[in-house]
Copies of this chain bind each other. A is one copy, B any other.
Amino acid sequence: MFDSIHEECGVFGIYEKENTKVASSVYYGLYALQHRGQESCGIAVCKDGLITQTKGFGLVNDVFNKDNISKINDGNIAVGHVRYSTTGGNNINNIQPLVIQHNKGNLALAHNGNLTNAYELRKDFESKGAIFHGTSDTESICYTIVKERINTHSIEDAIKNTMHIIKGAYSCVAMSSTKLIAFRDPNGFRPLSLGKTKSGGYVVSSESCAIDSIEAEFIRDIEPGEIVVISSDGIKSIKAFNNTKKSLCIFEYIYFARPDSVIEGLSVHEARQNAGRILAKEAPIKADVVIGVPDSGIDAAIGYSIESGIPYGIGFIKNKYIGRSFIAPSQEERENAVRIKLNVIKKTIENKSIVLIDDSIVRGTTSKRIIKLLKDCGAKEVHLRITAPAFMHPCHFGTDVDSEENLIACKYNSVDEICKYIGADSLAYISVDGMHKLANDLNCSYCDGCFTGKYPIEIPDNINEISKYSLTIKKL
């Protein structure tokens, strides 16, 4: 119904010393990571070296039930995955974790991110006789690990070699018959956290909120270029690279991650408040109340309010019951149907001049509808403030930014024109510099390629071949 951009995955893994209900732990962990991917999900469990799995299309709530969880529940290692994807949506073979058998055993792999040399890798494997069941780049990571495994002495050595072959963004959790292994690309595009369970085991998760959810204790972020190996020998860390340059996706702070997660030491909630504060400095306005578009605009609205002194108010109620089987209004009904999902608290906005905080503008249609809704309900003025710069470029590292012809910032020449289109009384994006300040104190640099077009690693010309490729028709 609303336009937005999408994270593509969340990963979760657990290692316990004894066989126990590890699938339940992953199940709860995936609930906490559900916002990172809502199209499909899966859990694979290792018990005494044997891997079993359950997968399906839909939310955690749809795919898993007492029956299928209890069938796989018992084990000492498990990995899980939530996935969003635009292409290949109906390909059951893309659902992760991928679970495979190879020359030296079993492997389950869950991957968040996107490779930039996926096409090249795939072409190369195919030329040697490989067969691909799915269309995702994750299968190429598997092939690379398996190929490297043949001539190495351990799965972690194979992974280390693999990390020098695959390029791009990958925060992965792998499971062999005896080990849980987490590894993160040398740029650290996507977050990856490590925690400790109450029973002395370990947990790896895309975000710390999932570590909290199972009452495990957050330890630290896994480092860019790091491999963490957990087995009956305990935990060990391997640095796969001598030099790494951290380039965390800054949009994780602004939109993707859950506010209760902590990434690189910075609370996502605080980062968003900071973004609001910075916006208040960069784009001040006289107004009666600051409101946020739920859910991600709320924290920044509070920050803007604190910095500006304009009172914070609750402007919207979001219907929390709308689920997968919601029957969307027909096209003709749609224009009027925003309020099924998002209704206004009239008292907050009637006859007021409003500062409206949102995280981003993609196509502009949602912003336009929300502003119209506020005005229809009596808002005198609506000043839209966006906690991200304008999207103008694709993301090659695991996010589904809309295509450029749809991006409103590519279609219009100026912020004024966009402001006019969406019907706001004023519009301001946070500046790129301002955005970098939201995590000012951290010893961390960021990827802001979707805003600036400047990517931290080289993007090959054939980067888009892989998606076209998966649909290519060739005569046999």
Report chain B residues within 8 Å CB of A60. Answer: 321
Across the two chains, which residue of chain B brings its CB closest to A64? Answer: B327
A340-B28 in contact (CB<8A): yes
Assembly CA distance A101 to B476 (angstroms): 12
The residues in A between 378 and 397 inclusive whose CB is less than 8 angstroms from any CB of B are none
A202 CB–B CB distance under 8 Å: no
B129-A143 in contact (CB<8A): yes
Report the minimal beta-carbon distance from A21 to chain B, rounded to whole angstroms.
8
A320 CB–B CB distance under 8 Å: yes
A286 CB–B CB distance under 8 Å: no
A475-B178 in contact (CB<8A): yes
B317-A260 in contact (CB<8A): yes
With contacts A31-B340, A131-B142 known, is A475 near B61, CB below 8 A? no
Report chain B residues within 8 Å CB of A101. Answer: 126, 131-132, 135, 470
Kindly identify which residue among B92, B212, B473 contacts A105, using a CB–CB cutoff of 8 Å.
Answer: B473
Assembly CA distance A40 to B98 (angstroms): 20
Report chain B residues within 8 Å CB of A302. Answer: 312-314
B66-A133 in contact (CB<8A): no
B105-A129 in contact (CB<8A): no
A270-B347 in contact (CB<8A): yes
Q: A interface, by DSSP: helix, strand, loop or mixed?
A: mixed
B105-A131 in contact (CB<8A): no
Report chain B residues within 8 Å CB of A165. Answer: none
A236 CB–B CB distance under 8 Å: no
A104 CB–B CB distance under 8 Å: yes
A177 CB–B CB distance under 8 Å: yes
Across the two chains, which residue of chain B brings its CB closest to A178? Answer: B475
The residues in A between 392 and 447 inclusive whose CB is less than 8 angstroms from any CB of B are none
Kindly identify which residue among B90, B106, B209, B213 contacts A71, using a CB–CB cutoff of 8 Å.
Answer: B90
B154-A129 in contact (CB<8A): no
B131-A100 in contact (CB<8A): yes
Report chain B residues within 8 Å CB of A287. Answer: none
B105-A130 in contact (CB<8A): no
With contacts A103-B127, A299-B314 known, is A343 near B32, CB below 8 A? yes
Across the two chains, which residue of chain B brings its CB closest to A324? Answer: B61
A368 CB–B CB distance under 8 Å: no
Report the minimal beta-carbon distance from A258 to chain B, rounded to whole angstroms.
6
The residues in A between 82 and 107 inclusive whose CB is less than 8 angstroms from any CB of B are 90, 92-93, 98-107
Report the minimal beta-carbon distance from A148 to chain B, rounded to whole angstroms.
9
The residues in A between 170 and 216 inclusive whose CB is less than 8 angstroms from any CB of B are 176-179, 198, 209, 212-215
A-B contacts, 30 of them at CB < 8 A, read: A28-B337, A31-B321, A31-B322, A31-B340, A32-B340, A32-B343, A34-B319, A48-B473, A59-B321, A59-B323, A64-B327, A100-B131, A100-B132, A101-B135, A103-B126, A103-B129, A104-B474, A107-B131, A129-B130, A129-B143, A149-B476, A154-B476, A155-B476, A179-B476, A209-B317, A259-B345, A262-B346, A295-B320, A306-B311, A320-B320
Q: Closest 3 A-B residue pairs measured CB to CB?
A: A49-B473, A267-B347, A105-B474
Contacts A61-B326, A129-B130, A260-B316 known; 19 new A-B pairs at CB < 8 A: A31-B340, A49-B474, A50-B471, A61-B322, A65-B327, A71-B90, A92-B92, A101-B470, A102-B131, A106-B474, A133-B133, A177-B475, A213-B339, A214-B336, A214-B339, A215-B337, A258-B317, A259-B314, A299-B314
